[in-house]
């Protein structure tokens, strides 16, 4: 299983043709306390870079864009009742949605962990 990152601070964990998507620890820190999430419907077809979910925090509202194209196979319903999971465990229980990838080659344009770390450091 490999994890890739976008410049918009989403992560995607890939396992075969399935993937799980969430936001990075950096993103949740920038947002502050998450108070509401709007999740995508299952079976929705999405394109790479498309806005798929909405996050609202005490400081701001933002979107979660899909790092890759595919079909949504699950949404993290836990976040409807416990949006704070995004802050507590952004890379684990705070995931947003899962998808069946339609074009795995799109992942080649994303950053690996070390490239993402350098990117975040460059934001100063």
How confident is the model at residue 63, as a pLDDT? 95
Residue 95, sorted as left (phi over 0), alpha (psi -120 to 50) or beta, turns out to be beta
Please answer whether residues 1 and 14 qualify as being in contact, where contact means their C-beta atoms are separated by less than 8 angstroms.
Answer: yes
- CA atoms of 39 and 53, how far apart (whole Å): 5
Q: Which two tokens stand for residue 115?
A: 């490239």
Task: Report all structural domains of the chain as residue ranges with CATH numbers, in order of start.
Answer: 2-106 (2.40.50.100)
How confident is the model at residue 15, as a pLDDT? 95
How confident is the model at residue 50, as a pLDDT? 97
Burial of 81 (0-12, 13-18, 19+ CB in 10 A): exposed
How confident is the model at residue 1, as a pLDDT? 77
- pTM > 0.75: yes
Average pLDDT, 10 consecutive residues per value, the chain (124 residues): 95 97 97 97 97 95 96 98 97 97 96 97 92
How confident is the model at residue 84, as a pLDDT? 97
């Amino acid at each position: 299983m490999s994890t890739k990152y976008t410049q918009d601070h989403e992560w995607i964990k890939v396992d075969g043709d399935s993937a799980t998507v969430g936001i990075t620890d950096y993103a949740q820190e920038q947002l502050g306390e998450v108070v509401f999430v709007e999740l995508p419907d299952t079976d929705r077809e999405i394109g790479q870079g498309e806005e798929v979910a909405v996050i609202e925090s005490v400081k701001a509202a933002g979107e979660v864009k899909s790092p890759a194209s595919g079909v949504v196979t699950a949404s993290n319903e836990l976040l409807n009742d416990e949006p704070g999971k995004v802050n507590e465990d952004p890379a684990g229980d705070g995931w947003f949605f899962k998808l069946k990838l339609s074009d795995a080659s799109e992942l080649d344009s994303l950053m690996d962990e070390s490239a993402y770390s350098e990117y975040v450091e460059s934001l100063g």
